[in-house]
Structure 1
Amino acid sequence: MNFFNCTVRRSYALKFASALACTGVGAGCGGLVLALLLHGIQHVAYGYDTAHLIGSKTFLEGVSMASPLRRMLVLSTCGLVVGAGWATLYRFGKPLVSIRRAVASPDPRMPIVSTITHALLQIITVALGSPLGREVAPREIGSLLAGRVAARAGLSVDDCRLLVACGAGAGLAAVYNVPLGGAVFVLEVLLGTFAPRALLSAIFTSTIAAVVAWIGLGNEQQYVVPTFHVSAPLMLWAAMCGPMFGLAAWFFVMLTSGARANAPRGTRLLMLSVLNFLLIGVLAGYFPQLAGNGKGAATLSFDSDLSISLAATLLFLKVAIEASSLRAGAEGGLLTPGLTNGALLGAVLGGLWNHLMPEVPTGAYALVGAGAFLAASMQMPLTAVALIVEFTHANHDLLFPLLLAVGGSAVTYRAIPHLVPARLSAKPLTRAALPSSRA
């Protein structure tokens, strides 16, 4: 009997390990295909580097080279895709199942056609210039594949849930080349545990997915930043401004959560989305940095290439169009948009601080601000730190002000609900960013 039990346990362990490997490979392939699709649509829509999916020019450079009329036409097309695409999905598709709901369900399988359609719509619209993020799509594909693999392998309910969560983290790791960030996201946000089994599973799948994605995307970091050094003015600024980022993130969550909750579904979705993206197209004629999920504006912030006035203007407009796009019915994540908002706010506050203290490159303030805002707005401080480090490969010294600002921001965000009326309390963005029954 003992021999039989040992054989059964070994057989199950082998099935579980195989399912994890399949999830990592599948999420990596899914993330790779979505990333290449994104680049291809961007190049064709704005007419740059059309011979290469992964070219030398950035999206911001491509948009800047396009005429204002072309920007407006492309973003107007984005509005049509948003309105027609999601209205059709809501009308004829099976009800969507969020990643969080799948992780908590006895049957974590997500509807195939609806989930894939939802993911593709996000990628297409972000490629055309939607200000929302692309990170939800690969997470959904990773979870979708993981749910099917887990069911086919006959895993236990708990292991099925674990696999679906790992699939989401692996998808994130694949598109951004952040294996540690993907794993920590699974543990901190989706599972809420760092138990050894979950930890090893998350690291295993995220690493495999990231390596698989190298096939087409290369082993590249998202942002190439200068070398910043820690200093007393930077540390003091991080300590003082950390709570300010938490407060800003709380208002941002209130704004975007309300916008998402009141988004239309029927014919109004088409009308509002066309109008919204037409206006964004007009604005992009003057500010090409507004097109897309915000990576271009964040890069300029990290490179200290923005004046205080331009950073403040972009921050106001970015927040406005992110909220208006959600209100109009567009879907997408808020990871890169939140990071960009924090970078822009950091550039503004850091630029002002430089008038009082010995000068520090504004890019250092922007990088610290990006992590602090992201940590609070999505309520994932550990994941935010891991993502900033892997996104930028920042030197070790910058961890000190980054951790200081992230701590102040996260604590402030969590304290605000206890200081304001309950009806004004904001819901964490992790719940909104992971699609609900309508997202």
Structure 2
Amino acid sequence: MQTMTPTSDAPPRIPSRTLLLPARRGFRRQVSALVASRAGLVALALTIGGGAGLGAIAFRWLINTFTHLFSGHADYSAAGHAANPHVPWLGMWFVLFAPVIAGLIYGPLVYKFAPEARGHGVPEVMYAVARKGGRIAPQVAVVKSLASALCIGSGGSVGREGPIVQIGSALGSTLGRVVGAGEDRMRLLVACGAAGGIAATFNAPLAGVFFAMELILTSFAAEGFGMIVLSSVVASVIGRAAFGNEPFLVLPEFHTASPKQLLLFAALGIVAGAVGVTFSKILYLIEDACDWAWRWPEWARPAVGGLLLGVVLLVLPEMYGVGYPVLGNAVAGKYAIGFLLVLLVGKIVATSLTIGIGGSGGVFAPSLFMGAMAGSAFGLLAHDVFGASAGGLGSYALIGMGAVFAGAARAPITAVVIMFELTGEYSIIVSLMAAIVVATLTSKMLTGDTVYTLKLRRRGIDLATPPASSPFAGLDVASIMEPLPAPLPGGTRLSEAADSLAASRHGVLPVVAADGSFVGLTSARAVAEVLAEGGRDGEPVRELVHSPKTIRSDTDVTTALDALLAADPAGLPVLDADGTGLAGWITHQSVLAAVHRPSVPQAA
């Protein structure tokens, strides 16, 4: 029986995957065209608003759940030195251990999956919009939710607005990446997520819009404003359906008794502006002190530092969590001047320490707390000096809240709008605006940075300076890395490793454990020096590894270049997006080849 062979006339077999490529490209073009259209942008804004609203609901539920778990109360800041009913035998001493236990959970979580989730979140979003085209890692939303809820629920003296801004922004960025949005659209979608998160969490849709435009986008373009409003409205509707149509902080009605009080409110603006700047400086001073003192793995820092935070909570339990009940008591005039100043200083220290030890949470709510304490103390002093003509005490506390935030963040429009939304009292708007403007000017005179931009400037990033056009924009490491050199098992003998290293063009090779996980690098020089000593050729190569600074495949090329500058000329290994396995190799040559490819002459 003869075997038939195909003739040369038979058509070649085309893989089905190749046949699908044109269809996929066509679909992507259609999606890109839809995103670029106004109707597509409206649909994306509505979707992001809905996602941010649902994210805010989940985030607040997590905070409430962890607060009940760690303290046994709905809000321990108003419980005095009460014991946790879950562990009554510990008495009030449980606050020493709650931050430690939570730190043991969220410390490794942040370190492993999303280091950018550490801290107060808003600077990272500002940087992503200004310098990274709005790209935020999708896992940030989940990690930030869990880490911040654990931190606040266990006593961390931080707010929830920074986390929800980062959570909503990550949702917007992820959706933009899925639909293939360009950089301009991506930035707008990130701002939509930030606005939706603020609107749903605080039942303040206008504040969400102006927060996103004043701090995140730093522009008020007409099209962007409309999309952000849509996202904020949808998120606010979802938030109100879940939390009711009540502001996040219920305050009594206020009014100003006389225009003469404007001078007093202007003076309060100067004090509040100074308080906001002081808070910004102390925040990073304590963070620097924590960085200087810490010499151990970063994942353990929140747990060990939690003991210090526990001591603060033991002395002053009013610092537990956000502290809205304490803020309400100050506005109602229930505290004396001396205790108000203690609470002011305590909040500055507790918030700074929470962030310094690696905690996760915002600084907006703490600045409102500080403003209420400073404003109430100022109002009591004004009453002592001027009597009843000074006006209502509550108005000083309310105006102090907005003025301290304006002094710290230098966002006067957002400060005015959110204070107005809190009260709905228009009669106080003139006094509020006067104090906030004075606080903003005072802050600008005292420092060139805000509580948000100072964090970036300390990393060498100045958002006020237009970035130089970079050929690396939009590139990540996965798109330029070289194939991975064949790794050496950790048990390979040095004599065998020498052969592989001699054939390697990099002069170094990665070493892996039995399960394939990355152990470190070994170099031809290190092996040659040991073999030259004699008698150690049977030693396993894992004894000669060093641990370089690794980067991941989803890292942007600009960040990778910073790591390459401090690395061996041979380059660096690239880990996969999970940070566990090896994915490739990157060198200066591979970076240069990606951005400077020689043009190919066109055929005549």
User: Using the alignment, how far apart are the partners of 1:95 and 1:337 within structure 2?
Assistant: 23
In terms of mean alpha carbon deviation, does 209-218 or 125-134 score higher? 209-218
CA spacing shift, 1:61–1:415, aligned 2, 3 Å: closer
Larger RCO, structures 1/2 (Cα 8 Å, 6+ apart): 1
Deviation at 1:89, TM superposition (A): 2.8
Q: Can you list the C-alpha shifts for 1:312-347, whole angstroms capped at 9, x where unaligned?
A: 111121112222222222232100001111110111
Q: Identify the residue that residue 433 of structure 2 maps to in structure 1.
A: 403
Aligned residue identity for 1:217: F
Partner of 2:569: none
CA pair 256-166 structure 1, distance change in 2 beyond 3 A: same
The number of residues matched between the two structures is 414
Q: Secondary structure of 1:354's partner?
A: helix
Relative distance call for 1:286 and 1:173 in structure 2 (3 A) is: same
What residue ranges of structure 1 are gaps of 5+ in the alignment?
Answer: 1-7, 49-56, 418-424
The Cα of 1:294 is off from its aligned counterpart by 2.9
Greater alpha carbon shift after TM alignment, 60-69 vs 396-405: 60-69
Is the 1:16–1:155 contact (alpha carbons within 8 Å) kept by the matching residues of 2?
no
Per the TM alignment, residue 284 of structure 1 is displaced from its structure 2 partner at its CA by: 3.5
Larger helix proportion, structure 1 or 2? 1
Deviation at 1:202, TM superposition (A): 1.3
Contact 1:371 1:406 in 2 (8 A): yes
Partner of 1:430: 452
The residue number in structure 2 matching 1:19 is 44
1:357 and 2:382 are equivalent in the alignment: no
> In structure 2, how many angstroms separate the alpha carbons of the residues matched to 1:180 and 1:241?
25
CA contact under 8 A between 2:141 and 2:168: conserved in structure 1? no
In the aligned structure 2, how far is the partner of 1:174 from the partner of 1:332?
Answer: 17
Conserved 8 A contact 2:256-2:392: no
Q: 1:77 to 1:64 in 2, by over 3 A?
A: closer
Aligned match of 1:332 in 339, 342, 361?
Answer: 361
Give the structure 1 partner of residue 153 of structure 2.
127
Partner Cα distance (2:458, 2:113) in 1 = 15
Residue matched to 2:56: 31
Partner of 1:54: none
Paired position in structure 2 for 1:367: 398
Q: CA deviation at 1:208?
A: 0.7
Q: After superposition, where does 1:225-304 map in structure 2 within 5 Å?
A: 225-232=251-258, 234-261=261-288, 263-264=290-291, 267=296, 273-274=302-303, 276-285=305-314, 287-304=316-333
Q: CA deviation at 1:99?
A: 1.1
CA 157–65 in structure 1, closer or farther in 2 if over 3 Å, else same: same
Deviation at 1:29, TM superposition (A): 0.5
Contact 1:47 1:62 in 2 (8 A): no
Aligned to 2:443: 413
1:217 pairs with 239, 243, 256, which one?
A: 243
TM-fit CA distance, 1:287: 3.4
Partner of 2:128: 102
Deviates more, 1:108-117 or 1:200-209: 108-117
| AA at the equivalent of 1:406 | I
TM-score (norm 1): 0.85
- 1:144-223 maps to which residues of 2 (within 5 A)? 144-223=170-249
Determine the C-alpha separation between the residues in 2 that align with 1:152 and 1:222: 33
Distance in 1 (alpha carbons) for counterparts of 2:58 and 2:223: 29
Pair member with larger Rg: 2
Query: How far does the alpha carbon of each residue in 1:236-290 deviate from its partner, in whole angstroms, 9 at most, with x for none?
Result: 2102221121122112111113333554476365776446543443443453321
Instruction: Pick closer, same or farther for the CA change 1:305–1:270 going to 2, 3 Å.
Output: farther
Contact 1:184–1:383 at 8 Å: present in 2 too? yes
Asked whether the equivalents of residues 170 and 209 of structure 1 are also in contact (C-alpha less than 8 Å), the reply is yes
Shift of 1:12: 2.0
Equivalent residues of 2:35, 2:181 under 8 A apart: no
Task: Give the CA deviation at 1:95.
Answer: 5.2
Measure how far apart 1:362 and its partner are: 2.3
Closer, same or farther in 2 for the Cα pair 1:304/1:434, shift >3 Å?
A: farther
Q: What's the TM-score, normalizing by structure 2?
A: 0.63
Shift, 1:63, TM fit: 6.1
d(CA) in 2 for partners of 1:247, 1:370: 13
Asked if 2 retains the 8 angstrom alpha-carbon contact of 1:127 and 1:292, the reply is yes
Q: Matched residues in 2 for 1:40 and 1:187: separation?
A: 32
C-alpha displacement at 1:170, in angstroms?
Answer: 1.0
Q: Supply the AA of the counterpart residue of 1:144.
A: A
**1:127, distance to aligned residue in structure 2 (A):** 1.5
Distance 1:350 1:406 in 2: 16
Moved more, 28-37 or 80-89: 80-89
The alpha carbon displacement at 1:150 in A equals 1.5
Structure 1 position 185, deviation (Å)? 0.5
Per-residue CA distance 1:186-205 (angstroms, 9 max, x = gap):
11111111111111111111
Shift of 1:30: 0.5
Structure 2's unaligned 5+ residue stretches are 1-32, 118-123, 460-604
CA distance in 2, matches of 1:180, 1:131: 26
Q: Using the alignment, how far apart are the partners of 1:184 and 1:302 within structure 2?
A: 25
Q: Render the CA deviation track for 1:339-396: whole Å, top value 9, x for unaligned.
A: 1111101111111111111233322211111110011101111101111122x22411
Q: Report deviation, 1:125.
A: 0.9
- SS class of match (1:129): coil
Q: Is the 8 A contact 1:110 1:147 kept in 2?
A: yes
Alignment of 1:86 with 2:116, yes or no, is no
Aligned to 1:77: 98
* Contact 1:350 1:362 (8 Å CA) reproduced: yes
Shift of 1:407: 0.9
Over 3 Å counting, the alpha-carbon distance change for 1:128 and 1:58 in structure 2 is closer
What is the rounded CA distance, in whole Å, between the counterparts of 2:133 and 2:302 in structure 1? 34
Against the structure 1 CA distance between its residues 150 and 436, is the aligned structure 2 distance closer, same or farther, given a 3 Å change threshold? farther
Q: 1:60 and 1:323 mapped to 2: Cα distance? A: 17
8 Å contact kept, 2:152–2:321: yes
Which of 374, 380, 400 is the equivalent residue of 2:411? Answer: 380
With over 3 angstroms needed to count, the CA separation of the structure-2 counterparts of 1:102 and 1:230, relative to structure 1, is same
Change over 3 Å in CA distance of 1:64–1:432 after alignment to 2: farther
1:71–1:284: 8 Å Cα contact kept in structure 2?
A: no
Distance 1:20 1:358, change over 3 A: same
Query: What is the identity, as a one-letter code, of the residue corresponding to 2:413?
Result: L
**Aligned residue type for 2:446:** I
For residue 46 of structure 1, report the CA deviation from its aligned partner.
2.4
Quote the Cα distance in structure 1 between the aligned partners of 2:35 and 2:181: 13
Residues 107 and 301 of structure 2 are in contact (CA less than 8 Å); yes or no, is this contact kept in structure 1?
no
Q: Percent identity, please.
A: 25
Which residue does the alignment assign to 1:310? 339
**Distance change >3 Å, CA 87–CA 278, structure 1 → 2:** same
State whether residues 332 and 433 of structure 1, in contact with CA within 8 Å, keep that contact through their aligned partners in structure 2.
Answer: no
Shift of 1:58: 5.1
Residue type matched to 1:73 in 2? F
Q: 1:326 to 1:10 in 2, by over 3 A?
A: closer
Distance change (3 Å), C-alpha of 1:58 and 1:303: farther
Flag the 1:102–1:275 CA change in 2: closer, same or farther, 3 A.
closer
**Partners of 1:72 and 1:435 in 2: CA distance:** 39
Distance 1:312 1:267 in 2: 35
Match of 1:139 among 144, 165, 187: 165
